[in-house]
Structures are given as structure tokens and as C-alpha cells.
Structure 1
Amino acid sequence: MSLSVVIVGGLHADARRATVARLLADVPDGVVLHHDLATAAAGTVVRTVRDAGGVRSAGEAPLIDDCACCALREDLVPELRRLEDDGTTRLAIVELWDSVEPKAMTEVVVAGGLTVTGVITAVDPALLLPCLGNGDDLADVGLAAAATDRRTVADTFARQLEYAPVLAVVDSPEADDEDRELLAQLHPTARRVPVRGGHPAADASARAYASGTSPGPSELATAALAGFDVEAAAAAQHPACALLPAEADAHGVATFVWHRDRPFHPERLYAALEDLTCAAARSRGRFWLADKPDVLLHWDAAGGALCVESAGPWLAALPDAAWELVPPVRRAAAALDWHPEHGDCCQHLVFTSPGLDRDGLERLLEACLLTDAEYAGGRDAWKRLPPAFDTLLEV
């Protein structure tokens, strides 16, 4: 029997457990593999393997370099290989610990020669905004995966949400239309699958499928076995070719897409960072600074905190011979934004939030661009502008 692996993650622990339970009920010969990183302070990570009948095995993996995630990486593939060699398991459900991000673990599993057929993030819509607004460090809430883990609750949850092509959305009596609309706008291309944990009709359907009397698998099981392209998923997260949301406005939630072909003045943008970062629950994209005209910069904000990073050169800054080394998906993305003078250099920022002040946000962004006179000075003059972002970029 060929082993399929599905990765299930998310900070919403109850939603994640309900999703795992539903998969276990829906797919015959499935097992759940889980590493509990909460014991990392004691120097170990606890691993359990269980099926519908209960715990099959349990063990411990020692920490590596004081990093629980490193221990997980070293232990995960050998355990999955044991399940594959056993030949009795159809689906291995890897239930990630709260703050573990699915991208890293999916790439580890694929690099280990195993087949990932699905990546799912479990979501309780009522907890969406509280998580995106939580700027606390993971270490402060007991969820850090290593002593050096500097991630926040908000940015971790945002990456968990946006990487997965499937969102398992649990029934939540506290969720309203605004919560569900926020989820839809944050990840509009995701397949959203309802999970009704404990619902008698769903339980009966699962039993029928397991016994062979049902016409087919549940929507969740189908999504878990549909297949997954790890390279396409990575490309969709890369700032140069990310699949960013489109304009939207419904149920009090809006997504504002701002696209311009003129660079930012570094000092004026830096002075506006706090207001821009706090203007939306989530903002992301790529941007262009006048004093670093050849560098593609990544904008990633959630929970009132902003991360700015260099993502390498714009394609327009590369010699023609180097284009053959660039992935086709990046060349295609650049072609969509290509400007006759500046190539792919541009501003492409997306802000999503309830109660978004689109007009105020647009005015603030426009004020940060080079003026006509500054723009006319050309690249040599731009490069002499004060380098306000060097500290953020650790230049």
C-alpha cells in the first residue's frame, strides 16, 4: 500500500484536532503522527503515533542544538518511512504542533522522498482577527520552538494560513459574516472545507465510507489526497511572484491593492511605517526604494509589526544572460508588471482588514513616493538619498 502524507497545522489547536479526528474517521487505515514540542524545555520532544483505535506507539526525540523544530525534522522522516515500510497504512496525518509552520515540514517530508498529497491549515474563524492582531512573541506565550525563536503569534499564523491550499474551517458559533469574509479575502484561492466535528450526520457519513457503503470519501478526505506541488507552493509565497489577493469589499472587510511604477522616498516611507503597519490586520507585497533601486524588497506585516527584507534583485537589474537561471514562474510574474522604462520594478502592496480606511491609506502611500522633481533627478540622484532603511535591512 502506497503511503500518502497530509500535513495538518495551525495555531487554532481545537480546530486542528477536530480536523485530524475527522480525517482519521474518514480515511480507513490512517494514522496520526504528532510531535509535542511543549516538553522541549525538559530537553525532549514527545512523539506519538495513533490510529482510530488509540495510541500505537510513543517515544521521545532529543533536542538538537536547543531546537525543538530541529528534533522534529530529524525524527519525522524516519517515522514516516517506518509507516511506509509497514505497508498497512494508507494515510499518514502529520499533526503539527501549534507554532510549527507547514512550509518547512512539508519541504522536509518531500526532500525525504515521501509523497505529500495535501497541506491543510485548520481555522476557527472567530479566532482569526485575535490571532492576526496578536503581536506577542511566541516565547512570551509558551509557543517558541527554539530559544532563538523570535517569531510573533500574528506573523506565524499568517504564514500558516497563507501557505496551505486547503483550509479546514470548523463550525464556530462565535464566528460571524465579518470573520468568514476576512478569511475569504486573506486567502481567496484556498479551498475552504467545512469541518463539523462531532456532528451526528458527519459521524454517520464517516462510518458509512469506512464500511464501504458510502459512494465516496468526504470533501476533507478528498482534499487531503488531492495532491500537492511543493515548488508551486513555495513560488506562491515568494515576494517576487506571490499570489496576492485582489480588490474586495464585503461584510465590513476590505482588501486594498496599491500598485505604482515610481519608487518610494526612503525617509518619507520610513516616517510612515507605523501608520502603514497599523492600518490593516494584514498587509504584504513587494516594494521599491529609490536609494536601492535594484533591490526587490519584501513587505510583511501582521499584529502591528512589520518585517522588511531584501528578496534579491529585480529582474530588470539582471544581465540578460542571468535570466535563464530565473524560474519560469518568476519571469511570468515579472512580465505581467513589466514597465517599458523600469521593467518589473514597482510597488505592489495589499492591505486587508475590517474597517479599512482605503482613502486615508492611499493618500499616505502616495505621499511617500518620489515627487515629480525627485523622480526627474534619475537613478544617480536617487541613490544619494538618505538610506533610512539600512537598520531594518541590517545593511
Structure 2
Amino acid sequence: MLLSTDKRLQPQIISSLKWVAFAIDTLDVGLLSEVFTLHLDRAQTLGEAVAFSADDVLKYFSGLLIEKDGCVQFDRPYIKEYLTSSRIRNSPVSAFSFTANDAQIHIAKSCLDLHLQCNPSDNSTDSAIVEQQGEEDVSKLKSYATKNWALHLESVPPSSWPPEIVQAANLALNIRSRSLYSMINSVTDRPFILDEAWLNPLIYTAHINAYRLTDMLISEGLGTHEYITQSDLNAALLSAASAGSYEVVQLLLEKGASVDVKTERNLNPLVEAAGNSHLEIVRFLVEEKFAINVFSKALDEAAREGNFEIVEFLVLNKTPVTKFALKTVAGCFGDSPESLECLKLLLDNSKGMKLQGALCKAAYGECWKA
């Protein structure tokens, strides 16, 4: 099958096989045709690429790829295994061989090159960049590249990052750049303020759990730039805690981020983690004795969101039960076994507390078992 592929198109075919094997999202035929059309190893511009029809692209992969339920996949599961195995390296089709790291670096570089090509550095004003982002008609491949180049790069140890990728990654993450704005703008349901992240790329890398890129920005930024400050680290810690980026939380604390800092919006990493069901981060911050002064706020936030496992953890770690938490669990989550068990725990640890408010809440919410 591999020997019968069109030799003139071999670079595109190999590139496409890497994409199908290790893409973060399942490829459809339209996206595969864009990948196949734009042979990024030759640094073609979008206008120079020779178009391949989405209807025709699979014919170049006869016996290798098929379309099923709108998605492109290998014709047989063993094909990916063979392409990444040691067996192929000494065979007549060794040119098609690649490792997971090879493929991830290839996709990361392809995406990063395209992303920077579509978001060049220039002298545009902030308002012009914002306006142009709203007007642009983005293709599937452009959108994929913007959202995922960092995630592909994250999957490879930094020791394997070529220097040109490190340089390009730093360029893509420049503050107030068209590139960074595009990346932040691609995040749906952002828990952070876009303009703040545009001035602090650590907020973005922390949100997507990009540990290695976060470390790169801190290590290189502190040595060569002035824009990474204590407040930048603190804001990134909030972002990481909110998103559940456990390793990034640990990294930022090691680099000097503060848990107990007061922000303009009274946000705190422990409270953010508790409200978003990130028990691993809550456990780490509590056990390491961080943010002791906001344990009760974290309990209230966990109760508000119905995160009973976190409520239980905080109470068992000697967080005082609050009236708000008791009333919220009693009246807002019905008579489910989980809420009743949580309520019992709160009651058992609420000695001396008046319970009329919780009783009224339960009655108002028709939580009769409570």
C-alpha cells in the first residue's frame, strides 16, 4: 500500500499520515484536504498551495485511510502501529516511518508556522487587531492551528524542541501581538478577561495547562524581558487553579506566585479550584497550608456549585462549617443521596450553630428529606 502511493506527493502523504495518527481532534475530509493541500514543510503561502478537492483527497490514501461517520481514520488499526514501530525502519518503506515525538513536532511546527503566517507581526494598533479578528473568515486548518499548536508542542520534552520552534513559540506568545490575541480569542467560555491575558501570556498558557510553555516564558522572560512581574505570576496562578491545571499550579508556586494575594475582584486560587471541582488542586493547597484564611470561602463556593466531594474534604480538614454552606446544601440540591450525605456531614460538624435558616431553605426548596 505504501509503495503504491504517488511518489510525487510523498511528502504530503507522510505529513497527512502523521496528522491522522496524532491530531488532537478527529480529522474530517475537509480538514485533511487542507492539510494535504498546504505542504507546510516547504513554507508555502496560502495562495501558493495547489488545491486538492475534499472529494478526491482520499484516493491518494487507498488502503490506508477511510472515511467513517464523517471522520477520517486508518483503514486498519494496525497501520498506525506499523508506521510508528521499529519494524518499518529497516523496510523498503522506511521513508514513511515516524515516532510519536516526530509527528507531534511536525504538527506543532506546521500549526505554528501557519498561525504566524496568518497573524504576522506588524505595526497595527490594538483596535485594528481586535477589529480584524472579528472580520476574518477562518478556515478549519487555521482554527485548528491557532487552538492546538501549543498542545502538540507540550506533548514533547523541551529537550527535543528545535531552536526555530522555541523562537517561533516565543514570537507567538508576545504580549499585545496579533498572534496572542487570536489564540486567546479562540478560547470559548473564557474564565479570564481577554485584555488581561493579552498583556500576560502566562494566563493563557496556564489556562490550557501548558506546563512547558509556562516554564519557558517564566525562565526566558525573567532573564530577557521586563513584563513578567509578581502580579503576572499571581494572575497566572488564578487561571491555572480555575482551569484545573495542577502541574502549572505547582510550577507557579515554585516560581514565587502568591496564593494569599488580594485581587481587585477578590479572587483566590483555592476558591477558584473549589468552585470548579478541582479536588486535586484543593487537596494540594490545603495540605501544603496555602490560603488558610480563605478555607471558609472555598467551602461556600464548593457548596454553591454542589461540589460535595470538595465540601467533604474541606470539612474533614477542619474547615469550620458556615451558615451559607449549610443553607445552600440543605435547600438547593434536592433529596439526592449525595446531597443528603453531605448535609449530614455539615450538620455533624455544626455544633452550636442555629439551624433555622437551613430548615427554611430546605422547606422553600421542597427538599423534604433534608
In the superposition, the TM-score normalised over structure 1's length comes to 0.25
Bigger relative contact order (CA 8 A; separation at least 6): 1
Larger Rg: 2
The structure with the greater share of residues assigned to helix is: 2
The structure with the greater share of residues assigned to strand is: 1
In the superposition, the TM-score normalised over structure 2's length comes to 0.26
